Structure 1
Amino acid sequence: MNQFVTEWNTWRDSRNSALAKPFGWLSVVGLHWLDQESTWPEAPGTFTVEDGWVTIALEPGIKAGPAAETFDLMSESQTDATTASTGVTAPSTSAARATSPSVPSDTSTLPTVSDRADQETAPARPQVRVEDNGFSARLPEGGSLSWFTVGSVLYELIDRGGRLGVRVRDSKSPLLGKFFEVPAFDPDPDFVFLGRFTRFDPFKTFTIETAQEDLQLQTQAAGIVTFETKQGEVSLLATGCPKTGLQLDFHDSTNGKTTPAWRTLDLGVPNQDGSLVIDFNRAVNYPFAFTAFATCPAPIEGNVVPFEVTAGERRPPFFYSEAGINVPFLFYVWWDEDSAEVTRPWYSRFGLDITILNPAHDDGRVSLVGFDGIAMSGGDLSVLGRKARSRLIDIATEALTSRIPVIGLGAYSEFVIQAQRELRHQQGYDDGIESEYEASEGRLLIVMNNELDPQQAGFDIVHTDASGLIYVEMPFDIPLESDLTEVEEFQAALEADRPITSWQEFDYRMVALIRGHR
């Protein structure tokens, strides 16, 4: 067991180091699909597409240089020309970008595998040219090229399903600057299985979805991976190549809660008899879990593990989109499901990236590293067992100790209060609080630490206790949804200090409070 954990920790350190590279996936800050002629406000020039070649004409005063991969291709072209004239063959250099096996790409595997099962072919390579005022490049189907750099920014040319695009990577990305590690479940040997790979002859082609809603790709399944579990036999389709390494993209029931919409697992090369090890502790997030500008392939339809895979990487707290870096927030909640279905979409619309957990069911340890706040909300404590209550107190204590905003709503405000009392006692304080504040009849109690100033979001403070906790109340008998429809209307109501007349307006004010703290 010690060796198992040690090897997993070494693997995880390697994974985090690979992600932290200056032009890795955490540096991606934009994606622009190209028309015949394209530019955008921050573009270094104008991009044109003609006969498959993409050319960048740089704006006056812009200084750009070829990226390392482009420089290697240019050097290789010169070597090929020398070889043709002298007849001497130089050592080959790979034009494909070196990618750590622990950092999955966001491409489909179709271009790298031939249709014949007894023959694998190397992928075609990009072509590059230097122009008088820029650069030109042509990609193979599904290809990518680290093309040129301007200051701290790298421009990457991509082909996805025949669509050409420019992806922007910035070594000074705010996401890269905030990165510490990818959260993960604790290593668990129960999620290691001995499986068997059965190869397709020929490989089978499938159409798959991607992380971009308007983009579909083709991928090839190399065969079926089968393994026995407590829930019975599981069979999933594997992509990649048996001679160089198989890959398993999969869904499971943790997706959308503690993990992203799907994850991937490197299976390595199967043994001669087809046997291989399937270790879900090494399941990782695709780049789309970190950035909105990835084109990651989704699993082939039906590739669903029929049990919760509480192993491998969790959903990362930080995410970069057109709105910039997100505001990650952890929310333990137990209200009725009808209300939850209505309210969940509000958070992202108002600018909060919520990870929602059920305090009674989601019993895994969640690190607060990376979260900008935590809330716990519920109207009935009877549904919680002793372990669930203790867990919520521990989480509230960690947030209070780390000076992270923490909010307790309804009956769950008790956990924030108890955590603060125990923490203050451990620190040697005697606040002399003999009785706790109770909400007025028909009103919801909201308790928060003094990292927040609720008055900035239009809330009236009804009580502040000697330990530093702040108390706010809201009437229960207000409608769920607001008559306001646009975010600008909610903001105008806040700025005008209008009364809160719906729970939707309440949620907007709470989001504004968290964002203001950040």
Structure 2
Amino acid sequence: MTVTETPTFAEEWADWHTRHEAARADGHGFLAITGLTWLTAEPQRIAGVPGEWWTGPGGPVVRLADGEELVVGGTTVHGEHAFGEVPERGGVDAVAGDVVIEVARRGGADVVRPRDPANPVLTAYTGTPAYEADPRWRVTGTYVPFDQPRPTTVGSVVEGLEHVYDAPGRIEFTLEGRELTLTAFDGATPGSFMVLFTDETSGVTTYAANRSLKVGAPDADGTVVLDFNRATNLPCAYTVFATCPLPPAENRLPIAVEAGEKKPAA
């Protein structure tokens, strides 16, 4: 009979971090972004991208010259192509050879961000350092829903840009002997949450502007698990072409969370 050993806490974390790093280094991930163009009503050319681009009440539009083409939704397009209205924090991809062109909407404005697997930021990437996994940074908390989601305006790493998220509730927990609270936003999967925060390590050993933590859906009694060992950097820690949100003021923790990802390697 073969006995299968249960992975240790550190082994589980190492496996998670390896997978997270692999996703971050994807050939068309945010490390591949080569530029950020804010579209206006005036048609403009974008370096490394076919066509002239502009936006209006109906959303982004591209006009391709003779001999230029893009692939959108699996269909090759020529001439003038309208992408339609793009929802906030949404996006559509257009493909030109090896380059994927992200057509998105951020802070009420339409943007274009090419993603090229040959981008030096991606090809030179060697990984992100992190604190050693430690179970003391994995704590349980209680999710307390608001009577109704609260529209919460937060700043951005882009000066003058604001993001608005609906906050469904807050998470209360105790860490390092302190009773703390974090405002939670909706996560990528139904019932889950995303928390943006800073702490006393921010700007010292960790990225100054923000870190992000995914939190699974609460149990029936509201119990959730916050594993700060899995706190990660947002794209703005790696590229100037990101539009990342800043944490709400109440999510600035008055302790040093010596867990999770540190500043990216220089």
Give me the TM-score of the superposition, normalised by structure 2.
0.90
Cα separation, 1, equivalents of 2:90 and 2:68: 23
The structure 1 residue matched to 2:249, chosen from 273, 286, 301, is: 301
1:270 offset after TM fit, Å? 0.9
1:13 offset after TM fit, Å? 0.8
CA RMSD of aligned residues (A): 2.0
Aligned partners of 1:195 and 1:275 also within 8 Å: yes
Structure 1 runs of 4+ aligned residues shifted over 4 Å read none
Cα separation, 2, equivalents of 1:315 and 1:60: 45
Aligned partners of 2:68 and 2:78 also within 8 Å: no
Segment drifting more, 163-172 vs 34-43: 34-43
Which fold has the larger relative contact order, with Cα–Cα distance below 8 Å and residues 6 or more apart in sequence? 2
Q: Does the alignment pair 1:12 with 2:34? A: no
Q: Does the alignment pair 1:249 with 2:202? A: no
Segments of 5+ residues of structure 1 without an aligned counterpart are: 75-129, 318-327, 329-518
| Percent identity (aligned) | 32
Q: Which residue of 1 aligns with 2:3?
A: none
1:230 offset after TM fit, Å? 2.8
Cα separation, 2, equivalents of 1:180 and 1:250: 25
Q: Which residue of 2 aligns with 1:62?
A: 68
The structure 2 residue matched to 1:184, chosen from 130, 133, 137, is: 130
Aligned partners of 1:55 and 1:136 also within 8 Å: yes
Q: Does the alignment pair 1:266 with 2:208? A: no
Residue type of the alignment partner of 1:268:
G
Q: Which residue of 1 aligns with 2:50?
A: 44
Cα separation, 2, equivalents of 1:135 and 1:270: 44
Cα separation, 2, equivalents of 1:51 and 1:148: 20
Give me the TM-score of the superposition, normalised by structure 1.
0.48
Cα separation, 2, equivalents of 1:131 and 1:152: 16
Cα separation, 1, equivalents of 2:244 and 2:116: 20
Segments of 5+ residues of structure 2 without an aligned counterpart are: 1-5
Q: 1:194 to 1:232 in 2, by over 3 A?
A: same
Q: Which residue of 2 aligns with 1:365?
A: none
Aligned partners of 2:40 and 2:56 also within 8 Å: no
Aligned partners of 2:170 and 2:182 also within 8 Å: yes
1:255 offset after TM fit, Å? 1.1
Residue type of the alignment partner of 2:171:
V
Q: Which residue of 2 aligns with 1:53?
A: 59
Q: 1:310 to 1:251 in 2, by over 3 A?
A: same
Alignment size in residue pairs = 258
Aligned partners of 1:146 and 1:154 also within 8 Å: no
1:2 offset after TM fit, Å? 6.1
Q: Secondary structure at the match of 1:5?
A: helix
Q: Which residue of 1 aligns with 2:103?
A: 157
The structure 2 residue matched to 1:213, chosen from 144, 148, 159, is: 159
Q: Secondary structure at the match of 2:35?
A: strand
Deviations 1:250-307 (A, max 9, x none): 0111111211121010001111110011110000001111111111111112211221
1:40 offset after TM fit, Å? 3.6
Higher helix proportion (structure 1 or 2): 1
Q: Secondary structure at the match of 2:8?
A: helix
Aligned partners of 2:130 and 2:259 also within 8 Å: yes
1:134 offset after TM fit, Å? 4.3
Deviations 1:481-501 (A, max 9, x none): xxxxxxxxxxxxxxxxxxxxx
Deviations 1:456-494 (A, max 9, x none): xxxxxxxxxxxxxxxxxxxxxxxxxxxxxxxxxxxxxxx
Higher strand proportion (structure 1 or 2): 2
Q: 1:132 to 1:45 in 2, by over 3 A?
A: closer
Cα separation, 1, equivalents of 2:54 and 2:190: 39
Q: Secondary structure at the match of 2:34?
A: strand
Residue type of the alignment partner of 2:214:
D
Aligned partners of 1:139 and 1:145 also within 8 Å: no
1:229 offset after TM fit, Å? 2.2
1:139 offset after TM fit, Å? 3.2
Q: Secondary structure at the match of 1:37?
A: coil
Cα separation, 1, equivalents of 2:127 and 2:16: 13
Q: Does the alignment pair 1:222 with 2:227? A: no
Cα separation, 2, equivalents of 1:298 and 1:233: 22
Q: Secondary structure at the match of 2:28?
A: coil
Cα separation, 2, equivalents of 1:144 and 1:232: 37
Larger-Rg structure: 1
**1:314-463 pair list within 5 angstroms:** 314-317=262-265, 328=266
Q: 1:284 to 1:15 in 2, by over 3 A?
A: same
Q: Secondary structure at the match of 2:250?
A: coil
